Amino acid sequence: MPTRGDHQILRAREGIALVLRAGQRLRITNTHGGQVVDTWALARADPSEYLSMEHTRTSLGKLVPAVGDHLYSSRRRALLTLVEDTSPGAHDTLIAACDPERYRLLGAEGYHASCAENFQRALSRHGIDAPRLPAPLNLFMHVRWDEGGRLEFLASPALAGDYVTLEALIDVTVALSACPMDLNPINAGGPHDVELEILGAA
């Protein structure tokens, strides 16, 4: 993957996995604005323990985490803390990662990159036989709900340069995908590259 100083570029439509040691932070910068970043985390000690959206919603008592909130695992352990967020705070815990079937149903012809495949491939490059695909934390994704529970997919309101920083509470493998969706408005004219930066000593 290309690097630029301490920053790594995660190319539009691609995925990556990286290791965060306890205490390290990962900053995800929406370089061009409007880009959704599907995000997963697995415990290093046992990758069957994964960041779980349903456990996070249950522990927080809310649909969307905000600064100061922990993000919880399938075993109800805090894996990460959302420590900084300069974006408008639209993130999603409700929607499944896009996958080849999603694009087929949306009318795509031929091959289309997807977050589900990016997840599997990124982990496999780390020698991790990925578990069943967990529901992702869709950073910068704006899904609006109404009183009746109807959901609407909106363009990401993240501006160029907005970033989110996650701090690891235990050693985790984080997988990220610069969502390749171009058949609904979520990526606001993208997909585009994003930038990643690991802060703190390994």
Q: How far is the CB of 143 from a copy of itself (least distance, A)?
A: 9
- 181 closest CA partner among 90, 93, 118, 94: 118
CB distance 6 to 195 below 8 Å: no
Which positions touch a copy of itself (CB under 8 A)? Answer: 48, 52-55, 57-58, 61-64, 74-76, 94-96, 99, 101-102, 105, 131-133, 135, 145, 147-152
Distance CA 10, CA 1 (A): 7
Name which of 72 and 196 has its Cβ closer to a copy of itself.
72
CB distance 184 to 95 below 8 Å: no
Name which of 4 and 150 has its Cβ closer to a copy of itself.
150
Name which of 9 and 78 has its Cβ closer to a copy of itself.
78
Distance CA 197, CA 27 (A): 5
Q: How far is the CB of 65 from a copy of itself (least distance, A)?
A: 10
Tokens of 146: 């109404």
Name which of 135 and 196 has its Cβ closer to a copy of itself.
135
